[in-house]
Copies of this chain bind each other. A is one copy, B any other.
């Protein structure tokens, strides 16, 4: 049996309808739709075929049909034209993003807000992985007799700072000097390379060991922490609007998964690099999310460094819109982040 034009049109109509209503769609409802010049009976025959082909499921005998995962797959692979956003919509996104967003963290947070606001699903945004970046500048700023702020700037224009404890009695000018030295020594190195370099520095330098140990410690911590640390989730509550989560139990489980960022993180990471990735239902490996789909896109910073942003929603999500929004926002983020910093 082949998926001819009419079958394809009917399948498409079923998916569209189900995305809108979350209610199994029956032959009669479908035939009443304009443009569908056939009787319910005909549609029933086609539906029966589509079910046999694996594109439709039937919750129970006397209910309508719902699209199967296979149908969604086909749908997103073939059907998507990603209609461009209206001017009002792009303006709305810009109003989210344009408000004082210079810092990485803010860009990420605002982007997540924009995403969840525009799609009404749940948004995820992760920062680029630190350890692929190279150090460009290191600066230690004294903030009290015993503590300082360590500022590290990477080639992607990312700024990370951490409070470190310093030995008492160090002068501000001294720290400035050490900063210069560190910048000189570490420029161009990645995390892994940096660690090695540090043991060299340790060997050659007798002074300031405690200070340098603090610095190394903080740098390593910040760089690895960002593995799961720099993920922002927004609009988790949005999904509670959909009938799929009319049951509190389900809602709670879903929100609990969002809480466990360390489980979510690899999911986003894995999708990194590709422009778009769509995982429908069980295609994502978290069992609690087997009734959700995850759509991700990539944004870029300088030097080919990239991060990921994504949307989690019910499998019957509005893929077309989600892709349009992701597309627009990822580009907007890239612009913000790779512009002159």
Residues of A within 8 A of B (CB): 100, 102-103, 137, 139, 141-144, 146-147, 149, 151, 153, 157, 159, 161-165, 176, 221, 236-237, 240-241, 245-248, 251-252, 255-256, 259, 340-341
Contact = CB atoms under 8 A, between A and B. Distances in A.
How many copies of this protein are present in the complex?
Answer: 2
A340 B255 contact: no
Nearest to A168: B340
A159 B165 contact: no
Given A149-B161, A159-B149, A341 B248 contact: no
Nearest to A246: B248
Contacts of A144: 153, 157, 340-341
Query: What 3 A-B pairs are tightest by C-beta distance, nearest first?
Result: A240-B252, A102-B163, A237-B255
Contacts of A153: 143-144
Nearest to A106: B163
Contacts of A255: 236-237, 240
B163 A161 contact: no
A243 to B, nearest CB: 10
Contacts of A237: 252, 255-256, 259
A151 B141 contact: yes
A151 B149 CA distance: 9
A173 B137 CA distance: 15
Contact of A248 (B141, B221, B251): B251
A247 B240 CA distance: 11
Contacts of A251: 240, 248, 251
